[in-house]
Amino acid sequence: MSARYAFLVCLGAVALLGGAASPPPLDNGLARTPPMGWNSWNHFGCDVSAQLIRETADAIVASGMRDAGYQYIVIDDCWQVARDRSGRIVADSARFPGGMKPLADYVHSKRLKFGLYTDAGRQTCQGRPGTYGSEEVDARTYAEWGVDYVKEDWCHAEGLDAPAQYAKFRDALAKAGRPIVFSICEWGSNHPWAWGPHTGNLWRTTGDIGDRWASMIGIVDLSSQYALVAGPGGWNDPDMLEVGNGGMTDDEYRAHFSLWAIMAAPLMAGNDVRTMSATTRDILVNKEVIAVDQDSLGAPGMLVQTPVPDLQVWAKPLADSGRAVVLFNRSALQTVITVSWRALGIRGPARVRDLWNHTDLGTSTGRFSAPVPAHGAVMVRISP
């Protein structure tokens, strides 16, 4: 880490946390790198079923996504319909015949992990039963079913205190005795960057992503402000990926994926992996870009240069003392963008490798420039 970056990290952490001593980060041993997987919501909404989940698990294996690191298969809203007389949550028996346990077993048999969605309030966003008042029984039920990841939303939570409600579920999960990644989804409305690190493994920083360029870059601008609080065990979550859902061009999706990786964001695919095109697959399984996201240093990248409005340079320090760099062109014209070694805190010659074309670009000194497509990104690894 460069001295400048380390200084900014300290300064930012103090500013974001208000200078007060904060409780130690959650240490449940999970999410040492940003979680990777798939979630049903962005593509399927409420149209979830056991069959979809089984076919998705199969496709994640067959496409090479599992081998690229995608692990958690998460069913979002609408799997639950009621509580039984003992207060236990009940899955939709028409869509999930046999319930969740056999489905979790199937997912595990593929060497994948299984996740579910709930809501900290009285109901989920789609009006299904929420966890409020049932934290312990829900955490126990999920542990019995073999759940490895829980996303907890924030609908129908009027009058509730977000840090307290999420802490309640964190404690219930710990008591249930199964390692379960805890994904906080309260959209950034109660400053989760301040209490998320001691409460969950990831916390949404913004409202929902849409499958549109303007939505994606709006989220980047908001979420990246909180970069300094994230690290191994606790990550800012700028929401799930839209790659392959059809609302952006392939260049825009490559930029989306590059930016999520440079921010060290969770990489939760949100497309139909059973029918994706070869181009979508190649974006999602780009191992060199994924390696930046999953780098063991766990330092989220930041915006380091804005040569002119709409042209940006993002950089992320890596464990091997290299830097990942995204040259990000937000404009509608192809343009050359330059990153200077000064902005990266490095000196002398450095090797440059293109992470989308998988080619070595030789050694540069002082700066590196490349043409960047309109609404697109070039991503390189710079090794001093």
Name the residue with the smallest CB distance to ligand GLA: 125
Binding flag, residue 295, ligand GLA (CB under 6 A) = no
Active site residue 208: yes
Q: Which of residues 17-46 bind ligand GLA (CB under 6 A)?
A: 41
H helix runs in the chain, sequence order: 3-16, 41-44, 50-62, 65-68, 100-109, 135-145, 162-176, 192-195, 213-223, 250-262, 278-284, 287-293, 341-344
Angle 139-65-284 (CA atoms, 0-180°, nearest 5)?
A: 105
244/261 Cα distance (integer angstroms): 16
- Among positions 69, 76, 216, 290, the unique one binding ligand GLA when judged by CB under 6 A: 76
DSSP string, 57-74: HHHHHHTTHHHHT--EEE
- Among positions 33, 53, 77, 140, the unique one binding ligand GLA when judged by CB under 6 A: 77
The count of chain residues that interact with ligand GLA, using the rule CB under 6 A, is 11
Q: Which of residues 112-131 bind ligand GLA (CB under 6 A)?
A: 117, 124-126
Neighbours of 14 (CB within 10 A): 12
Residue whose CB is less far from ligand GLA, 126 or 364: 126
Binding flag, residue 107, ligand GLA (CB under 6 A) = no
Least Å from the CB of residue 124 to ligand GLA: 6
Residue whose CB is less far from ligand GLA, 117 or 149: 117
Least Å from the CB of residue 149 to ligand GLA: 13
Residue whose CB is less far from ligand GLA, 124 or 224: 124
H helix runs in 64-212, sequence order: 65-68, 100-109, 135-145, 162-176, 192-195
Residue whose CB is less far from ligand GLA, 76 or 252: 76
Q: Which residues touch 191 (CB under 8 Å, ≥6 apart)?
A: none
State the DSSP H helix or E strand holding residue 381, giving kind and residue range, or none if neither.
strand 376-383
- Among positions 50, 65, 150, 185, the unique one binding ligand GLA when judged by CB under 6 A: 185
Residue whose CB is less far from ligand GLA, 22 or 123: 123
Binding flag, residue 184, ligand GLA (CB under 6 A) = no
292/188 Cα distance (integer angstroms): 25
Binding flag, residue 153, ligand GLA (CB under 6 A) = yes
Instruction: List the structure tokens of 288.
Output: 């060199």
Q: Which of residues 201-260 bind ligand GLA (CB under 6 A)?
A: 208
Catalytic (active-site) positions: 153, 208
**Residues in the site for ligand GLA, rule: CB under 6 A?**
41, 76-77, 117, 124-126, 153, 185, 187, 208
